[in-house]
Amino acid sequence: MYHSKRLPLKGDGGAVAILALQGAFAEHEQMLQRLGAETTLIRNLDDWNKALPQRGSGEGAIIPGGESTAMMRIMKDEGLFEPIREAILGGLPVLGTCAGLIMLDRNHLGVMDILAKRNAYGRQLGSFNTEENFRGIGKFPMTFIRAPYIEEAGPDVEILATVEGKAVAARQKNMLVTAFHPELTADTRIHELFLSMVAESRHDGFPKSDRSRQL
């Protein structure tokens, strides 16, 4: 399983930066702290610069759920858009959940070779719970809240989970996305997977110097 590798814990020299503009950022923070990981909340550019001063101590970032249009506007207003985009393109491990999935796609931050369909399940079916297989993990409880799904994915994108034939989780290099909210369950395995990506990034020497990650 993905999460079998050693996880970055407190004192390892890097914290996971959680974008705290709106949405379920507190639940992500609580989940990571349960796993013993350092976290820091990002509300503005000063927070970001303090969290990633050297861009290379094994950090990671989480973009939580929320409203993607509002999040894009706030990111740009706070001067966060380009620094976050460049860090991800440079190899920063990132987890995007629900609106975070949308934020990473071709039409938003433009770092992941996917196209998200927003509010894909409509108003009546906008919120529901199910349990489906997640590649490398097994059955996982999935909470969807006015969720997107992945409408298109490029050849380098690995689809990790589907619901009724629609892709709802994927990974491309240092980027992991879910259309559902793993932070709203008691199951820590997706966050463990993400932390294993952070540990791998430290071992591989983030940041990367080549620009082949750009779409």
Residues 37, 14, 85, CA angle at the centre, nearest 5°? 105
**The pTM is what?**
0.88
For residue 208, is it within any domain? no
Task: Give me the pLDDT at residue 212, please.
Answer: 38
For residue 215, is it within any domain? no
Q: What is the pLDDT along the chain (215 residues), one digit of tens a residue?
A: 444 444 555 445 468 999 999 888 999 999 999 999 999 999 999 999 988 765 544 589 999 998 889 999 999 999 999 999 999 999 999 999 999 999 999 999 999 999 999 876 655 456 899 999 999 999 999 999 989 999 999 999 999 999 999 999 999 999 999 999 999 999 999 999 999 999 988 766 555 544 334 44
Domain span at 180: 2-203
Q: Which residue out of 3, 28, 108, 181 is catalytically annotated? A: 181
Task: Give me the pLDDT at residue 56, please.
Answer: 47
Measure Cα distances from 82 to 36, 130, 200 in Å.
30, 36, 24
Task: Give me the pLDDT at residue 78, please.
Answer: 96
Q: Which residue out of 59, 183, 191, 192 is catalytically annotated? A: 183
Task: Give me the pLDDT at residue 208, please.
Answer: 53
Is residue 181 flagged as an active site residue? yes
Q: Which residue out of 29, 98, 108, 192 is catalytically annotated? A: 98
Q: Is the dihedral of CA 64, 17, 177, 183 positive or negative?
A: negative
Is residue 98 flagged as an active site residue? yes
Task: Give me the pLDDT at residue 32, please.
Answer: 96
For residue 209, is it within any domain? no
Q: Tokens standing for 102?
A: 């949308």
For residue 211, is it within any domain? no
Instruction: Count the domains in the chain.
Output: 1
The CATH number of residue 17's host domain is: 3.40.50.880
Residues 6+ apart with CB under 8 A from 180: 97, 98, 142, 143, 144, 147, 168, 169
